[in-house]
Structure 1
Amino acid sequence: MERANKYANRSKISEAKFRQLVKLFAIDLDASQIAQVAGLNRNTVNRYLTAIRQRVAEFCEQESPVFGEVEIDESYFGPRRVKGQHGRGAGCKTIVFGIFKRQGKVYTEIVPDCSRKTLQAIIRGRVGLDSVIHTNGWRGYWGLVDLGYQKHFRVNHAENEFANGRNHINGIESFWGYAKTRLARFRGMKKHMFLWHLKECEFRFNHRGQDLYKALLKIVRARPLF
């Protein structure tokens, strides 16, 4: 009798087949490629990949950076801006807020807007008061000193200033470039799936250079799927 799959409750595939699926996912094959290589139904693969991405997203929430020297920025994902629409997030774009701990990891969160209230609420909950914070000149970051962040430095992109010594946000911008390039592969992605794919980008970026296969198995073993 085949033993139960310890990585997925009531799994319809064997543990060996699940491990193969995770290994193929770790090397960044898409669902169609995994289905073909592993000999699995495409819908079955999609079901498992969605569940894995959800576990990865939960894991990323626990790993968010909270102290040290950090870069903070917002970015916009989705279709090109619609002509006649202006402002941040115009053209049905999804707004993503990011915190990057230098020499460390990135944390991302989808936000409804870039208002001072929205952005500062996240910063207060995620970043320690003794941190050194680097941002662009967006007014949503004004007033951080009043909140107790005494080391807030701004780089003014509007005046073509992109770096001044250690004052820059190149790290978080590097992540934005990586995430947008990677997500371009998933054209036609359903909107409710965007968060899971975003968090997958976050996880891959944070654990680059590590054995993603072993890291993924450890996450799923701690909390089996389904």
Structure 2
Amino acid sequence: MRGKKSDLHRNPDDPPRWRANKARGRGTYENDRPPILGMVGRETGWACFRVCLDTKEETIRATVAGETAEEACIFTDENRSYLWLENEKESRTRKAVDHSEEWAEDQDGDGVREVHVNTIEGIWTSLRNRLRRFRGVHKDHLSGYVAMFELAFNHDEITPALLQRMCGV
């Protein structure tokens, strides 16, 4: 039989469980808040998500370079981990929005705010809503949940051909 909220705990030496990890700063795998790097094509709408160990430049660079085209223009927030995209030797370019200043930027003065990250921000909301159903996901299993979200996001319907590709047939 379950107790009521007003009932005292059976074992006073057993502390109550903590809810959520409220650590400040950027998440890492070590502090139990693994970051998820998300990318979405502006023209294709195709999304890609990767659970990372940290948000260091080396980690971000390897993931972005592996998942984007050589000549891609990458729209980012103000995170310093993307500064490598501004190197002259890098074939990809970067356009960044400083969220402390504005939500989008008009870089060419035509009145259209073409530099924004609203597309991926909307997808983050969908991913958070999907994960919220599970009331917490262990970090070792997070990549599987994220992969399932990516699959559902990128495919409107699961067809026999998709299942065959997934199974390697």
Q: What is aligned with 2:62?
A: 121
Residues 151-173 of structure 1 show CA distances to partners (whole Å, capped at 9, x for unaligned) of 3111001x232112110011111
Distance 1:205 1:190, change over 3 A: same
On the 8 A contact 2:34/2:54 being kept in 1, the answer is: no
Mapped pair 1:79 → 2:20: yes
Distance 1:129 1:145, change over 3 A: farther
On the 8 A contact 1:79/1:93 being kept in 2, the answer is: no
For residue 57 of structure 2, what is the amino acid of its counterpart?
A: R
Mapped pair 1:213 → 2:158: yes
Following TM superposition, by how much is the alpha carbon of 1:206 offset from its aligned partner in structure 2, in angstroms?
1.6
On the 8 A contact 1:79/1:92 being kept in 2, the answer is: no
CA RMSD of aligned residues (A): 2.3
1:195 to 137, 143, 147: 143
Q: What is aligned with 2:96?
A: 154
Unmatched tracts of structure 1, length 5 or more: 1-77
Please give the alpha-carbon distance, in whole angstroms, between the structure 1 residues aligned to 2:124 and 2:136: 20
Q: What is aligned with 1:169?
A: 117
On the 8 A contact 2:37/2:51 being kept in 1, the answer is: yes
Following TM superposition, by how much is the alpha carbon of 1:126 offset from its aligned partner in structure 2, in angstroms?
2.0
Mapped pair 1:89 → 2:37: no
Following TM superposition, by how much is the alpha carbon of 1:93 offset from its aligned partner in structure 2, in angstroms?
1.2
Following TM superposition, by how much is the alpha carbon of 1:150 offset from its aligned partner in structure 2, in angstroms?
5.4
Unmatched tracts of structure 2, length 5 or more: 1-18, 106-112
Distance 1:148 1:222, change over 3 A: closer
Following TM superposition, by how much is the alpha carbon of 1:80 offset from its aligned partner in structure 2, in angstroms?
4.1
Higher relative contact order (CA 8 A, sep 6+): 1
* Identical amino acids, percent of aligned pairs: 25
Residues 16-51 of structure 1 show CA distances to partners (whole Å, capped at 9, x for unaligned) of xxxxxxxxxxxxxxxxxxxxxxxxxxxxxxxxxxxx
On the 8 A contact 1:81/1:92 being kept in 2, the answer is: no
SS across alignment from 1:108: strand
- Give TM-score, length-normalised by structure 1: 0.55
Greater fraction of residues in helix:
1
Please give the alpha-carbon distance, in whole angstroms, between the structure 1 residues aligned to 2:27 and 2:142: 16
Q: What is aligned with 2:76?
A: 135
Distance 1:189 1:117, change over 3 A: closer
On the 8 A contact 2:40/2:48 being kept in 1, the answer is: yes
Q: What is aligned with 2:42?
A: 102
Distance 1:131 1:80, change over 3 A: same
